[in-house]
């Protein structure tokens, strides 16, 4: 019986993105942004876009696969996939779903993508404006609990309080992202450096752990990756970024209603991380560069802890910018600026950055990385994460 795994079976052969804009500033419609990112990924991989035969996305992306297939005149659509769950929880899962389809022979050449134009559609930071709240929201919205930050804030409060972790540990994440954005031509926050004083002076979004700079931006743009079988990727222009491991989901009742998840103060990675390491046949110490989705800095820390990258006990000491920078860091983090300072593209920009790091073409290039990891949007359900590697990790 063959081993059931994606390890080394598929690779990302192309990456693409649009210009990244502040929210509401895109001159282009959301669907056009999706098309541009996909065409860029195909060009990067040196393939005719008509050869694409599948699309995978997440977060309820409005640019649906069949319409993309028609607009691009692709020859044949073989895989059309939307991953359940909100926000960026599904970013790694979308790439893995594309990979699973390719490996299973259901498709040959699949695009995983995300497109967002929040000027054209609604923003995330304001609650729904409906008069009546139904489902879970009936027990939350009347109390003024509506935004993503508010949905997660009490997980962070509980975790940080239980473990005595200081806000400075989260500040380090924000400072690192802004530091990296200053040398990334794609970054929306390039030219807007952040230091500790500016961070500490920023307004509270939510006490006790969400200052303005602990929260992601909201942006317009699109990003895409092209997933093909590993053997095909070897004949394509760029060094392949092989999928070594991927996992998605959530542990026991992590989606329980009205904040009743038994393990509440969690980013929901305990079982996902176990499955990820198991498929990758690697451990936290093997990761050379980490891209961890920042919806909020607290989620980054929780995700890192649940993947074993740092322990709660050592978080205060370890989480300082020097340990997280691309040049001096023991664990380089969010080397493009990520959701905080490059672009909030629901984490797809983190996948592109992981690929660039392995190719050796990132603006803040870590020295000779072999293993790059992406942690998808923490604290939602389902969550997902993935590990990419160079040829020598196979």
Which sequence positions are flagged as catalytic? 293, 344
- CB closer to other proteins out of 64 and 137: 137
CB 297 to other proteins: min, Å:
15
- CB closer to other proteins out of 149 and 272: 149
Give the footprint of other proteins on residues 344-373 (CB under 8 A): none
Candidates 25, 120, 127, 168; binder of other proteins (CB under 8 A) is 127
- CB closer to other proteins out of 41 and 301: 301
Contacts of 237 (CB under 8 A, 6+ apart): 44, 45, 46
| The pair of three-digit structure tokens given for residue 194, joined into one six-digit string | 């952040």
Q: How far apart are CA 202 and CA 71, in angstroms?
A: 44
Q: How far apart are CA 315 and CA 294, in angstroms?
A: 17
Identify whether the C-beta of residue 239 lies closer than 8 Å to the C-beta of residue 361.
no
- CB closer to other proteins out of 149 and 181: 149
Q: Using alpha carbons, select from 352, 378, 325, 96 the residue that is nearest to residue 221.
A: 352
Segment contacting other proteins (CB under 8 A): 134-142, 291-299, 316-324, 366-374? 134-142
Contacts of 104 (CB under 8 A, 6+ apart): none
The enclosing H or E element of 273 equals helix 270-280
CB 261 to other proteins: min, Å:
9
Phi, psi of 103 (to 5 degrees): -65, -35
- CB closer to other proteins out of 128 and 196: 128
Is residue 216 a contact point for other proteins (CB under 8 A)? no
CB 329 to other proteins: min, Å:
31
Candidates 3, 134, 185, 285; binder of other proteins (CB under 8 A) is 134
CB 135 to other proteins: min, Å:
8
CB 160 to other proteins: min, Å:
10
CB 293 to other proteins: min, Å:
21
Candidates 3, 132, 191, 197; binder of other proteins (CB under 8 A) is 132
Is residue 138 a contact point for other proteins (CB under 8 A)? yes
Identify whether the C-beta of residue 129 lies closer than 8 Å to the C-beta of residue 137.
no
User: How many residues in the shown chain lie near other proteins by CB under 8 A?
Assistant: 45
Give the footprint of other proteins on residues 249-278 (CB under 8 A): 253, 256-260, 264-265
CA dist list (Å): 58 to 54, 55, 261, 348:
14, 10, 23, 10
- CB closer to other proteins out of 1 and 132: 132
CB 211 to other proteins: min, Å:
10
Candidates 27, 208, 283, 360; binder of other proteins (CB under 8 A) is 208
Identify whether the C-beta of residue 84 lies closer than 8 Å to the C-beta of residue 90.
yes
By rule CB under 8 A, what string of x and - marks binding of each residue 140-169 to other proteins? xxxxxxxx-xx--xxx-xx--x--------
> What is the CA angle 90-96-97, rounded to 5?
85
Phi, psi of 371 (to 5 degrees): -125, 125
Q: Hunting for tokens 């942004």 — which residue is that?
A: 33
Rg, Å, the chain Cα set: 19
Give the footprint of other proteins on residues 96-125 (CB under 8 A): 125
Q: At what angle do helices 65-72 and 30-45 cross, to 10 degrees?
A: 60
Q: Hunting for tokens 């996992």 — which residue is that?
A: 247
Q: Residue 228: helix, strand or coil by DSSP?
A: strand
Contacts with other proteins by CB under 8 A lie at: 125-147, 149-150, 153-155, 157-158, 161, 203-208, 253, 256-260, 264-265
């Amino acid at each position: 019986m063959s081993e059931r795994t994606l390890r080394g079976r598929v690779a990302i052969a192309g990456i693409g993105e649009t210009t990244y804009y502040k929210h509401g500033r895109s001159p282009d419609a959301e669907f056009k942004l999706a098309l541009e990112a996909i065409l860029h990924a195909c060009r990067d991989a040196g393939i005719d876009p008509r050869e694409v035969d599948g699309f995978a996305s997440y977060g309820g992306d409005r640019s649906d696969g069949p319409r993309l297939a028609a607009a691009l005149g692709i020859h044949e659509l073989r895989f059309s996939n939307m991953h359940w769950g909100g926000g960026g929880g599904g970013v790694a899962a979308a790439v893995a779903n594309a990979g699973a389809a390719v490996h299973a022979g259901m498709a040959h050449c699949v695009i995983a993508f995300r497109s967002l134009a929040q000027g054209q559609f609604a923003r995330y930071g304001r609650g729904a404006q409906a008069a009546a709240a139904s489902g879970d929201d009936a027990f939350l919205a009347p109390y003024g609990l509506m935004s993503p930050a508010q949905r997660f804030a009490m997980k962070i409060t509980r975790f940080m309080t239980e473990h005595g972790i200081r806000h400075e540990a989260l500040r380090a994440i924000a400072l690192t992202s802004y530091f990296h954005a200053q040398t990334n031509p794609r970054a929306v926050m390039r030219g807007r450096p952040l230091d500790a004083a500016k961070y500490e002076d920023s307004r509270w979004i939510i006490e006790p752990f969400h200052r303005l700079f602990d929260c992601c931006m909201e942006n317009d743009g699109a990003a895409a990756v092209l997933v093909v079988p590993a053997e095909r990727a070897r004949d394509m222009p760029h060094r392949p970024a092989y999928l070594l491991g991927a996992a998605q989901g959530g542990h026991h009742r992590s989606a329980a209603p009205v904040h009743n998840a038994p393990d509440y103060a969690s980013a929901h990675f305990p079982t996902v991380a176990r499955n990820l390491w198991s498929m990758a046949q690697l451990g936290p110490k093997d990761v050379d560069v980490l891209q961890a989705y920042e919806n909020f800095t607290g989620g980054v820390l929780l995700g890192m802890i649940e993947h074993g990258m740092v322990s709660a006990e050592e978080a205060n000491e370890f989480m300082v910018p020097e340990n997280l920078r691309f040049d001096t860091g023991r664990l380089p983090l969010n080397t493009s600026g990520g959701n905080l300072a490059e672009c909030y593209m629901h984490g797809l920009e983190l996948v592109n950055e992981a690929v660039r790091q392995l190719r050796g073409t990132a603006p803040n290039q870590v020295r000779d990385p072999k293993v790059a990891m992406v942690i998808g949007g923490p604290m939602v359900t389902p969550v997902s994460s993935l590990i990419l590697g160079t040829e020598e990790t196979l």
